[in-house]
Amino acid sequence: MQVLNDVVQSMLAVGPSVMLPVIIFLVGLIFRVKPSKALTAGITVGIGMLGINLVINLLTTNVGPAAQAMVKRFGFHLTIIDAGWPAVSAGTWAQPISAIMIPIILVVNVALLLMKLTKTLDIDIWNYWHMIAAAATAYVITKSWWFSIVCGVVYEVAVLIIADKTAPKVAEYYGLEGISFPTGSAAAYGLLGIPIGWVVSKIPGIKKLDVDPETIQKRFGVFGEPMVMGIIIGIILAALGGYSFPNILKLGMAMGGVMFLMPRMVKILMEGLIPIQEGAQKILQERYGDREIYLGMDAALSTGAPATLATGLLMVPITLFLAIILPGNRVLPFGDLATIPFFVALIVPSRKGNIVHSVLSCTIVMAIGLLMATDFGPTLTTMMHGIVTFPHGAAQVSNLDTGGNVLNWLILKFSQLVQPLFS
């Protein structure tokens, strides 16, 4: 098991910009794409992912400190600290069950694909940790290997079903043909947010509010341009954080840069995926007629849409405000605030980019997420104890990505229910 864990960690250590080209190349060969074309496609995808990661880094390194400044400025005092997905991911990988889960997830995905029970081939190995976190949650509570594996597989199946169902909207709204988002956090937030968004869109008065980037651009001219929207949102976040005037302008420009650059990085990545998609569709049509297959990719690709980024960034101060006023919440949002744009990846297209409806829907989902994250605190604290350094003053730790994830929370509740059977 230690050897398997070492191999897995070595693969993950090289990062997606190296491993993804290799995976794309191998998938291309499987789908009979010419080796030279498959190699070019893999390298192009790797370069696109490098670009996306650079822009994400620009986003997180600027929004994170702004969120921290807001927390400090308004003197929030809550006993469970949101440690962020990197800390929870580290705690997940440190569990004994983790290493064996990667091959199990791969085998289950391929088996479901061959049995025509899913259309998604999940090549986003780095986000397998979401599925592994479900298994790790069950293991921490029950210490049962077989039960933990079952929980991880159930979570995987749920995510693949959501990815399949939402892929048409992903293609329609984001222009990402043949792509689905089997990212655990995006799927779980979408599971709640899509039906909630539908209800929000039926509320008298609110249903007539149609505010998407295109409408804003038509009404406000240059102030409706995505990069200018990013600058305005960045200025608001910096002002709420109490930044000095020069730093307010810096954060504004950084967010404008994110809004401008992200769609271009996604476009580069998609150029590399097109030959693979064409090869896959050709093989499938030869063997199965009109059967579709989706390549499962990171929901970060959704941030190429201005409405998704705008909704995610607006949710940062809203989430902090919710944490203060919500009865029963004990989580101080912190580490995962900068990654909220990824959580809304499936909610925004379901609202056709309507920012008002998306923000209202996400506010309701986030309120539910904070309460689930509060309930998840003791388990995630146990999972991460001795593995990661807890934030100063934290009695317990949780996060929005895993703790506020309804699929993980259901695994938590089920594991607690059956735990006496394993004691």
Encode the chain (423 residues) as per-residue pLDDT tens digits.
555 555 555 665 666 667 778 888 888 888 788 888 889 988 888 888 788 778 878 877 887 788 778 777 776 677 888 888 878 887 887 788 887 888 899 899 989 988 989 999 888 877 888 999 999 999 999 999 999 999 999 999 999 999 999 999 999 999 888 899 999 999 999 999 999 999 999 999 888 888 777 777 666 566 667 788 788 888 988 998 889 999 999 999 998 888 788 778 878 877 887 887 777 777 766 776 677 889 898 888 888 888 898 898 889 889 988 988 899 999 988 778 888 888 999 999 999 999 999 999 999 999 999 999 999 999 998 888 766 666 555 678 889 999 999 999 999 999 999 999 987
Residue 385, burial from CB neighbour count under 10 angstroms (0-12, 13-18, 19+):
exposed
Q: Quick one: DSSP state of residue 339?
A: G
Tell whether 423 is covered by a domain. no
Tell whether 22 is covered by a domain. yes
Sheet containing strand 179-180, strands side by side: 120-122, 294-296, 179-180
C-alpha to C-alpha distance for 349 and 34, rounded to whole angstroms: 35
Residue 422 CB coordination number (10 Å):
12
Tell whether 142 is covered by a domain. yes
Tell whether 58 is covered by a domain. no
Tell whether 348 is covered by a domain. yes
Tell whether 72 is covered by a domain. no
Assess contact for 85 and 399: CB atoms under 8 A.
yes
User: Would the CA dihedral through 163, 167, 173, 176 be positive or negative?
Assistant: positive
Q: Half-sphere exposure of residue 212, counting CA atoms within 13 Å on the CB side?
A: 12
What is the predicted pLDDT for the residue at 246? 92
Q: Which domain holds residue 249?
A: 2-6+16-48+80-416
Of 422, 374, 312, the closest CA to residue 63 belongs to 312
Helix/strand number for the chain, H first, E second: 16, 6
Q: In 155-192, which positions are buried (b, 16+ CB within 10 angstroms) versus exposed (e)?
A: bbbbbbbbbbbbbebbbebbebebbbbbbbbbbbbbbb
Tell whether 114 is covered by a domain. yes
Secondary structure, 3-state, 197-234: HHHHCCCCCHHHCCCCHHHHHHHHHHHHCHHHHHHHHH
Local structure of 97: helix, strand or coil = coil
What is the predicted pLDDT for the residue at 127? 83
Integer CA distances (angstroms), 101 to 36, 96, 413, in order:
33, 10, 21
Of 357, 360, 362, the closest CA to residue 342 belongs to 362
Assess contact for 184 and 171: CB atoms under 8 A.
no
Number of structural domains, the chain?
Answer: 1
C-alpha to C-alpha distance for 62 and 302, rounded to whole angstroms: 19
Of 214, 303, 240, 211, the closest CA to residue 65 belongs to 240
Tell whether 65 is covered by a domain. no
